[in-house]
Amino acid sequence: QKEVEQNSGPLSVPEGAIASLNCTYSDRGSQSFFWYRQYSGKSPELIMSIYSNGDKEDGRFTAQLNKASQYVSLLIRDSQPSDSATYLCAVNFGQTGANNLFFGTGTRLTVIP
Amino acid sequence: DGGITQSPKYLFRKEGQNVTLSCEQNLNHDAMYWYRQDPGQGLRLIYYSQIVNDFQKGDIAEGYSVSREKKESFPLTVTSAQKNPTAFYLCASSIRRTTLGHNSPLHFGNGTRLTVT
């Protein structure tokens, strides 16, 4: 069973705080992990991709991957009201030729001004 | 500007009618995908295509059909056999692998919201 689990939230943080979003996945052989942001009524947009254990930083965003524990997280520093959205974790299961991603149900983040 | 164009943005149909959703990309991507999103659920894969004239079923292909006659185009037909067709449909594309051999991220179109009554 291929599963990607996220806490649906909502997660509320004050403006300027750090938002922490977590994701676990079922397949130990997964190699590729992505975070997408989706505003209400819009399509997902890519924020980060991560392939190796450890941290990857891009501006205010940091993705953290721990393959042994099968979790990936996203930290948003200095959260802004414009960060209010649903954040989707996506995982590619196994090293197949196909590039299909499996998505979690998303965590809804609200940043309070 | 390169991108993925889905049309129309909103689509209304009567039950029992087939309907075709358009997806065109000018990113020169080999792979294209159709996902469906329902409220409170994650994106679920309907069909995908890695190369022209070839496509594979995803997790929820029943009641849907696709074609891939051109690299740029991957239309999705929602047939009358689909039990619950009302949903937000997302088309995506990607290169097959990154230069380092990793799975590449998907890039999404703006979506088509289909309502069937």
The verdict on a CB contact (< 8 Å) between B106 and A8 is no
> Residue A40 in 3-state DSSP?
coil
Provide φ and ψ at B6, rounded to 5°.
-110, 140
Query: What pLDDT, on a 0 to 100 scale, did the predictor assign at position A72?
Result: 97
> Residue A83 in 3-state DSSP?
helix
Looking at chain B, which runs of residues are DSSP E strands?
A: 4-7, 10-13, 19-25, 31-37, 44-51, 54-57, 64-66, 76-78, 87-94, 107-108, 112-116
pLDDT grade for A100, boundaries at 50, 70 and 90: confident
Residue A98: pLDDT over 80? no
The verdict on a CB contact (< 8 Å) between B94 and A99 is yes
B85 contacts chain A (CB < 8 A) = no
The verdict on a CB contact (< 8 Å) between A46 and B106 is yes
Report pLDDT digits (tens) over A15-64. 999 999 999 999 888 889 999 999 999 999 999 999 999 999 999 999 99
Residue A97: pLDDT over 60? no
Query: What pLDDT, on a 0 to 100 scale, did the predictor assign at position A2?
Result: 76
How far is residue A65's CA from residue A54's CA, in Å, rounded to a whole number? 5
Query: What pLDDT, on a 0 to 100 scale, did the predictor assign at position B24?
Result: 98
Query: What pLDDT, on a 0 to 100 scale, did the predictor assign at position A9?
Result: 84
Q: Are B71 and B7 spatial neighbours (Cβ–Cβ below 8 Å)?
A: no
A82 contacts chain B (CB < 8 A) = no
The verdict on a CB contact (< 8 Å) between B42 and A45 is no
Provide φ and ψ at B32, rounded to 5°.
-135, 155
DSSP-assigned beta bridge partners for residue B22: B7
Q: Are A4 and A91 spatial neighbours (Cβ–Cβ below 8 Å)?
A: yes
pLDDT in tens, chain B (117 residues): 679 999 999 999 999 999 999 999 999 999 999 999 998 788 999 999 999 999 999 989 999 999 999 999 999 999 998 999 999 999 999 987 766 667 888 999 999 999 999
- Picking from B44, B105, B111, the nearest residue to A46 by CB comes out as B105
| Beta strands A11-14 and A107-112, pairing class | parallel
Token look-up 């983040």 returns A109
Residue A95: pLDDT over 60? no
DSSP state of A95: S
The verdict on a CB contact (< 8 Å) between B33 and A100 is yes
- Picking from B41, B42, B111, the nearest residue to A43 by CB comes out as B111
For B44-53, b where at least 16 C-beta lie within 10 A, e where not — what string?
bbbbbbbeee
Q: Are B22 and B7 spatial neighbours (Cβ–Cβ below 8 Å)?
A: yes
How far is residue A50's CA from residue A73's CA, in Å, rounded to a whole number? 10
- Chain A nearest C-alpha distance from B33 (Å): 8
> Residue A88 in 3-state DSSP?
strand
- Picking from B43, B50, B102, the nearest residue to A51 by CB comes out as B102
